[in-house]
Structure 1
Amino acid sequence: MYRKSFYQYLMTERNPENTDEVAQFANNAFYDQSFPKHSQSYEELSQYLELNGEYLPTMTIFDQAWQMYLEKMS
Protein backbone atom coordinates (compact mmCIF):
# COMPACT_ATOMS: atom_id res chain seq x y z
CA MET A 1 0.00 0.00 0.00
CA TYR A 2 1.25 3.48 -0.89
CA ARG A 3 1.80 5.79 2.05
CA LYS A 4 2.08 9.53 1.56
CA SER A 5 5.13 11.34 2.83
CA PHE A 6 4.60 13.59 5.83
CA TYR A 7 5.02 16.62 3.58
CA GLN A 8 2.30 15.41 1.20
CA TYR A 9 -0.04 14.98 4.16
CA LEU A 10 0.96 18.33 5.65
CA MET A 11 0.08 20.11 2.41
CA THR A 12 -3.53 18.92 2.83
CA GLU A 13 -3.61 21.01 6.04
CA ARG A 14 -2.50 24.21 4.28
CA ASN A 15 -4.87 27.13 4.62
CA PRO A 16 -3.58 30.71 4.48
CA GLU A 17 -6.84 31.96 6.04
CA ASN A 18 -6.59 29.64 9.05
CA THR A 19 -4.76 30.64 12.23
CA ASP A 20 -4.64 27.04 13.48
CA GLU A 21 -1.05 26.13 14.44
CA VAL A 22 -0.91 23.07 12.17
CA ALA A 23 -2.27 25.07 9.23
CA GLN A 24 0.35 27.77 9.85
CA PHE A 25 3.06 25.08 10.05
CA ALA A 26 1.86 23.71 6.70
CA ASN A 27 1.81 27.18 5.14
CA ASN A 28 5.38 27.84 6.29
CA ALA A 29 6.67 24.38 5.31
CA PHE A 30 5.31 25.02 1.80
CA TYR A 31 7.80 27.90 1.43
CA ASP A 32 10.70 25.93 2.95
CA GLN A 33 12.71 24.85 -0.11
CA SER A 34 14.86 22.42 1.91
CA PHE A 35 12.02 20.60 3.70
CA PRO A 36 12.51 16.80 3.41
CA LYS A 37 9.51 16.34 1.13
CA HIS A 38 9.79 12.56 0.69
CA SER A 39 10.43 11.60 4.30
CA GLN A 40 8.20 9.34 6.36
CA SER A 41 10.67 9.28 9.26
CA TYR A 42 9.80 11.04 12.52
CA GLU A 43 13.48 11.21 13.50
CA GLU A 44 14.61 12.71 10.20
CA LEU A 45 11.84 15.32 10.17
CA SER A 46 12.21 16.17 13.84
CA GLN A 47 15.95 16.67 13.48
CA TYR A 48 15.48 18.79 10.36
CA LEU A 49 12.92 21.03 12.07
CA GLU A 50 15.00 21.45 15.22
CA LEU A 51 17.89 22.71 13.09
CA ASN A 52 15.99 24.59 10.36
CA GLY A 53 12.41 25.21 11.49
CA GLU A 54 12.70 28.82 12.65
CA TYR A 55 9.09 29.22 11.52
CA LEU A 56 7.92 26.56 14.00
CA PRO A 57 7.38 28.25 17.41
CA THR A 58 7.38 24.91 19.26
CA MET A 59 8.06 21.28 18.35
CA THR A 60 4.73 20.40 20.00
CA ILE A 61 3.06 21.61 16.79
CA PHE A 62 5.12 19.13 14.76
CA ASP A 63 4.22 16.36 17.22
CA GLN A 64 0.53 17.22 16.87
CA ALA A 65 0.79 17.22 13.06
CA TRP A 66 2.71 13.91 13.17
CA GLN A 67 -0.08 12.29 15.21
CA MET A 68 -2.66 13.55 12.71
CA TYR A 69 -0.50 12.11 9.90
CA LEU A 70 -0.26 8.70 11.58
CA GLU A 71 -4.02 8.58 12.15
CA LYS A 72 -4.69 9.50 8.54
CA MET A 73 -2.24 6.89 7.21
CA SER A 74 -3.47 4.01 9.36
Structure 2
Amino acid sequence: MRQSFYLFALKYRGGQKDDEKAVFANSMFNHHDFPKAETSFDKVSLYIEELADPNMPATVFDEIWEYYIEDSK
Protein backbone atom coordinates (compact mmCIF):
# COMPACT_ATOMS: atom_id res chain seq x y z
CA MET A 1 0.00 0.00 0.00
CA ARG A 2 1.26 3.43 -0.94
CA GLN A 3 1.98 5.93 1.83
CA SER A 4 -0.27 8.96 2.04
CA PHE A 5 0.61 12.23 0.34
CA TYR A 6 0.83 13.84 3.77
CA LEU A 7 3.50 11.42 5.00
CA PHE A 8 5.42 11.80 1.75
CA ALA A 9 5.33 15.62 1.84
CA LEU A 10 6.51 15.75 5.46
CA LYS A 11 10.02 14.97 4.27
CA TYR A 12 10.23 18.57 3.01
CA ARG A 13 9.62 20.04 6.49
CA GLY A 14 12.42 21.95 8.10
CA GLY A 15 14.02 23.10 4.87
CA GLN A 16 15.21 26.58 3.97
CA LYS A 17 12.76 29.44 4.56
CA ASP A 18 12.88 30.33 0.86
CA ASP A 19 12.19 26.74 -0.27
CA GLU A 20 8.56 26.65 -1.43
CA LYS A 21 8.25 22.92 -0.76
CA ALA A 22 9.47 23.40 2.83
CA VAL A 23 7.04 26.28 3.40
CA PHE A 24 4.23 24.12 1.97
CA ALA A 25 5.12 21.13 4.16
CA ASN A 26 5.43 23.23 7.32
CA SER A 27 2.07 24.86 6.67
CA MET A 28 0.48 21.49 5.84
CA PHE A 29 1.79 20.12 9.15
CA ASN A 30 0.17 23.00 11.04
CA HIS A 31 -3.27 22.34 9.50
CA HIS A 32 -4.60 19.70 11.86
CA ASP A 33 -7.53 18.92 9.58
CA PHE A 34 -5.32 18.14 6.56
CA PRO A 35 -6.44 14.81 5.03
CA LYS A 36 -3.51 12.85 6.42
CA ALA A 37 -4.47 9.42 5.10
CA GLU A 38 -5.31 10.43 1.53
CA THR A 39 -3.63 9.05 -1.56
CA SER A 40 -6.18 10.59 -3.95
CA PHE A 41 -5.12 13.61 -5.99
CA ASP A 42 -8.69 14.88 -6.24
CA LYS A 43 -9.36 14.83 -2.50
CA VAL A 44 -6.08 16.48 -1.50
CA SER A 45 -6.31 19.00 -4.32
CA LEU A 46 -9.86 19.96 -3.34
CA TYR A 47 -8.78 20.49 0.26
CA ILE A 48 -5.92 22.76 -0.84
CA GLU A 49 -8.12 24.74 -3.23
CA GLU A 50 -10.84 25.27 -0.61
CA LEU A 51 -8.31 26.17 2.08
CA ALA A 52 -6.62 28.81 -0.10
CA ASP A 53 -3.65 29.13 2.27
CA PRO A 54 -1.03 31.38 0.63
CA ASN A 55 1.69 29.13 2.06
CA MET A 56 0.19 26.11 0.29
CA PRO A 57 -0.22 27.19 -3.35
CA ALA A 58 -1.60 24.72 -5.89
CA THR A 59 1.53 25.06 -8.04
CA VAL A 60 3.73 23.76 -5.22
CA PHE A 61 1.22 21.02 -4.45
CA ASP A 62 1.36 19.94 -8.10
CA GLU A 63 5.16 19.83 -7.98
CA ILE A 64 5.24 17.74 -4.80
CA TRP A 65 2.48 15.51 -6.18
CA GLU A 66 4.64 14.73 -9.23
CA TYR A 67 7.47 13.64 -6.91
CA TYR A 68 4.96 11.61 -4.91
CA ILE A 69 3.78 9.76 -8.02
CA GLU A 70 7.37 9.15 -9.18
CA ASP A 71 8.30 7.81 -5.76
CA SER A 72 5.32 5.44 -5.86
CA LYS A 73 6.43 3.70 -9.06
Q: Does TM, scored on the shorter chain, surpass 0.5? A: yes
Whichever residue aligns with residue 61 of structure 1, its letter is V
Whichever residue aligns with residue 73 of structure 1, its letter is S
Looking at structure 2, the residues matched to 3 and 18 of structure 1 have their Cα atoms a distance apart, in angstroms, of 29
- Which structure carries more helix by proportion? 2
- What stretches of structure 2 of length at least 5 have no aligned partner? none
| Divergent runs of 4+, >4 A | none
Aligned pair 1:40/2:44, yes or no? no
TM-score of the two chains, using structure 1 as the length reference: 0.87
Task: Summarize deviations over 1:2-61 as a string: whole Å, max 9, x none.
Answer: 2100000011111154421111100110000110000000000110000114132x3111
- Which position in structure 1 is the counterpart of 2:13? 14
Whichever residue aligns with residue 49 of structure 2, its letter is E
Q: What RMSD over aligned residues (CA atoms) do the two structures have, in Å?
A: 1.3
- Which position in structure 1 is the counterpart of 2:68? 69
- Which position in structure 1 is the counterpart of 2:51? 52
Calculate percent identity across the aligned residue pairs. Answer: 35
Looking at structure 1, the residues matched to 3 and 16 of structure 2 have their Cα atoms a distance apart, in angstroms, of 25
Alignment coverage as a number of residue pairs: 72
Closer, same or farther in 2 for the Cα pair 1:49/1:72, shift >3 Å? same
